[in-house]
């Protein structure tokens, strides 16, 4: 009887370990892989803060908002009313880093060129009604653009 009880416990532990822990490890590994997939270090991004709001119509369902802050620690949030997807925390930070890494604004870059590059980086259409952009660079320079679309009457 004692041997049967020990065998049952071993089988239960093996089954539980095989099902529960293996699934947990995969989830944990997947999270690490997502974070490791982004080879963008905060020191490579030229932004201390980045805030973008693009409006395509009335209401939140027709807007896109993205916020990145690198002070005192990195945080990000994405509210994509166009696709109905919101990201916060690590997921938003990973996405923001990928998109912001594509942007390397130059001091002599025109406003239209910068807006075009930002919309392209975020995969957004240029037929917006209104765009608000607030950027603080690591060197302290600030860029603030608030414009209505040249494409709308």
pLDDT band at 148, cuts 50/70/90? Answer: confident
Give the Å distances, CA to CA, from 5 to 2, 41, 62, 146.
Answer: 5, 53, 62, 73
**pTM score:** 0.69
**Is residue 71 in a domain?**
yes
Residues 84 and 143 in one domain: yes
Give the Å distances, CA to CA, from 144 to 37, 111, 133, 135, 147.
Answer: 31, 10, 6, 6, 10
**pLDDT at residue 4, as a whole number:** 41
The CA distance from 139 to 15, in Å, is 56
Of 36-40, 92-96, 106-110, the one with minimum mean pLDDT is: 36-40
Residues 124 and 86 in one domain: yes
**pLDDT at residue 19, as a whole number:** 42
Please give the residue range of the domain that contains residue 5: 1-37
Of 33-37, 69-73, 104-108, the one with minimum mean pLDDT is: 33-37
Residues 47 and 29 in one domain: no
Residues 60 and 127 in one domain: yes
Residues 58 and 122 in one domain: yes
**Is residue 153 in a domain?**
no
Structure tokens at 17: 């370990």
The CA distance from 119 to 42, in Å, is 21
Residues 9 and 50 in one domain: no
Q: Name the range with the highest mean pLDDT among 13-22, 31-40, 46-55.
A: 46-55
* Percent residues over pLDDT 90 in the chain: 41
Residues 84 and 65 in one domain: yes
């Amino acid at each position: 009887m004692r041997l049967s009880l020990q065998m049952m416990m071993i089988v239960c532990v093996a089954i539980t370990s095989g099902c529960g822990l293996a699934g947990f490890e995969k989830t944990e590994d997947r999270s690490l892989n997502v974070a490791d997939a982004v080879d963008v270090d905060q020191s490579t991004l030229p932004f201390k803060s980045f805030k973008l709001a693009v409006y395509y119509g009335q209401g939140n369902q027709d807007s896109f908002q993205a916020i990145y802050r690198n002070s005192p620690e990195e945080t990000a949030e994405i509210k994509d009313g166009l696709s109905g997807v919101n990201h916060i925390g690590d997921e938003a930070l990973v996405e923001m880093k990928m998109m912001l890494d594509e942007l390397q604004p130059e001091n002599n870059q025109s406003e239209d060129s910068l807006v075009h590059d930002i919309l392209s980086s975020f995969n957004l259409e240029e037929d917006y009604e209104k765009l608000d952009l607030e950027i603080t660079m690591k060197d302290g320079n600030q860029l603030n653009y608030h414009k209505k679309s040249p494409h709308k009457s």
